[in-house]
Structure 1
């Protein structure tokens, strides 16, 4: 075997050994690490904010794109004059209804007092009449007793007069006494019937007074109706106050203004986006790992991250979550294979990676990164 053949054979053997070593290292690397470049920087929260329940012309926008805002900072403002005028009108209506309700309360109180006074007055008058009636009945009983005796005397004197045993004057005296008693009884009974009539009239007057209670019931019903209207208006006032507060758009989170969608002077409604705020403090890497590489990847595995923009920047992280379905499953329009047309493609499983080490201030939302997940 000549020298050249030996050299060539040696080079070949060395190359095979080197290739075998590299292949071994590469296979070992693939066994230990799951790698992909289908990974992107995401934010835990990106808020596209808009005015709540109000519409109008933007009077001022207080932020610019790229500006950092804190939660509660005023982002933009709509002219609230129309809502202030509405609130003023509602307050005026409430005061008017409250005044009307106060007037009803006074009227109800006055009628109640009048009813109580009149009832007490009638009761006293009725009591006096009944006492007078009792006295008249006593007098009538007394006169009846006298009449019974005088009638007997009259009958006896009449028999005696007819026999000539008593004088005509004596008989006339007893007859006159009988007549007087009868007249007295008639007068007393007339007075008694008058009192009975008055007592009956008192009952009717008492009933008429009690009828006024129906008026009170109607007034109370009207008062309740006014109260309901007032409560409704007060609720509307509170709602209008909320609308006035909603004319100032406030940042719901701390973050950076990523995009402005409107400017001062723009007419907007409650569905018009004004700005987008990105939470840059809580970011993570979203990894779309091929299903063929998912085996052996678990929560808590260490992850090495390299941004596409600068391969010299290095970050570390850990697997925080492995989604239970492929990325295609969450698509708005899922792939339709019912027609029988099917091309096999490797599905990708979304994995959320928390960034634990590195300057996250250099990262931007949506930036592509390469990841190595150590199994």
Structure 2
């Protein structure tokens, strides 16, 4: 009986081994077939890189005016809305500067009003002077008419005296009247010239007053601009959030002296975060804006986000480097370049973890089909 078992056991073992080999071969072939099918339909269209990071266009908030900080209204990592006051600079000096500028503006406007009244007075005087000229011209015309009558009387009496019809005494009276009439005409003509000259003086004074008015109006504009600058400076004492985001790198402290351009804190638009993935140039052949992207974040194992290719950089990272490489040398080694690709994160349903700028991700772009937005 033992011999029978010993004879049958190798046969069973050979059959069992053959079954395992066949099963393994079938499984291997099936696996190869499935992998080949996956690669043919999907895998060859997927471009993946782990040289990818979450980015956000954050802003370093700095003051536009210098002064001592009176209030810091936010804490580290605090959510803020666009327009929220983050920091206040002591505004007392800026209020006084605005009051001073407004007082100067009132003074300048009063000077303009006074000069306009002066112009109106000069215009009234010019109108009155015109009437005086008309009156003087009328007196001159009357005097000339009287002089003409006196001349004719003199000529007539001169002829009568020559004929001994009139007395010489009467002729002398007529001659005196003629001389008086001529003097009156000369006086009237001089008066007309005097009134006309006075009108020219008034016109010159008006031109001077008009120039002074323009100068004072320009000064009003200058002072009004100073008021606007003072008002802007007062408003700038309240440093506001440029957009919705989270406060970071808060360096502002009370009684700290702030200088224009000195960063006090940063506002990071976490909700507008995007992925910057650096793909090799050999991976860009079928890549275009609008294609779907699968994003795996290293910080959250097993979780995936959806994205969309937004744009591809116009040059490789080496092109925009501080010291770009110069390959026109005797020795040259070809290196595959990488191009930054901007990926927009699509809204995710539910209250999942929020990915933050700086996190490392693995981005996989599906290059199948036409771009979602036409490239």
Name the TM tier (shorter chain). Answer: 0.7 to 0.9
Shift of 1:24: 7.2
In 1, distance between residues paired with 2:242 and 2:204? 57
Structure 1, unaligned runs of 5 or more: 155-173
Q: Is the CA contact (8 Å cut-off) linking 1:285 and 1:353 kept in structure 2?
A: yes
Residue correspondence of structure 1 range 169-188 to structure 2 within 5 A: 177-188=166-177
Q: Secondary structure at the match of 2:249?
A: strand
In the other structure, the counterpart of 1:242 is 232
In 1, distance between residues paired with 2:281 and 2:35? 20
Matched, 1:47 2:59: yes
In 2, distance between residues paired with 1:37 and 1:325? 20
CA root-mean-square deviation: 3.2
Q: Secondary structure at the match of 1:354?
A: strand
Q: Secondary structure at the match of 1:37?
A: strand
Shift of 1:110: 2.8
1:90–1:322 CA distance, 2 compared to 1 (3 A): closer
Q: Secondary structure at the match of 1:345?
A: coil
In 2, distance between residues paired with 1:80 and 1:293? 57
In 2, distance between residues paired with 1:291 and 1:140? 116
Matched, 1:100 2:111: yes
Matched, 1:371 2:371: no
Q: Secondary structure at the match of 2:271?
A: coil
* Per-residue Cα deviation, 1:135-180 (whole angstroms, up to 9, x for no partner): 343244234324313421x2xxxxxxxxxxxxxxxxxxx6xx4212
Matched, 1:137 2:148: yes
1:325–1:63 CA distance, 2 compared to 1 (3 A): same
In the other structure, the counterpart of 1:191 is 180
Shift of 1:219: 1.7
Residue correspondence of structure 1 range 237-316 to structure 2 within 5 A: 237-316=227-306
Residue correspondence of structure 1 range 119-138 to structure 2 within 5 A: 119-138=130-149
Shift of 1:71: 0.9
**Aligned with 1:67 (options 68, 71, 78):** 78
1:13–1:258 CA distance, 2 compared to 1 (3 A): farther
Q: Greater shift after overlay, 137-146 or 217-226?
A: 137-146
In the other structure, the counterpart of 2:354 is 362
Q: Is the CA contact (8 Å cut-off) linking 2:146 and 2:181 kept in structure 1?
A: no
In 1, distance between residues paired with 2:291 and 2:137? 102
1:371–1:104 CA distance, 2 compared to 1 (3 A): closer
In the other structure, the counterpart of 1:168 is none
1:264–1:248 CA distance, 2 compared to 1 (3 A): same
**Aligned with 2:49 (options 31, 36, 39):** 36
Q: Which has the larger radius of gyration?
A: 1
In 1, distance between residues paired with 2:26 and 2:317? 41
The TM-score with structure 1 as length reference comes to: 0.80
Instruction: Count matched residues.
Output: 350
Q: Is the CA contact (8 Å cut-off) linking 1:143 and 1:181 kept in structure 2?
A: no
Shift of 1:118: 3.9
Q: Secondary structure at the match of 1:204?
A: helix
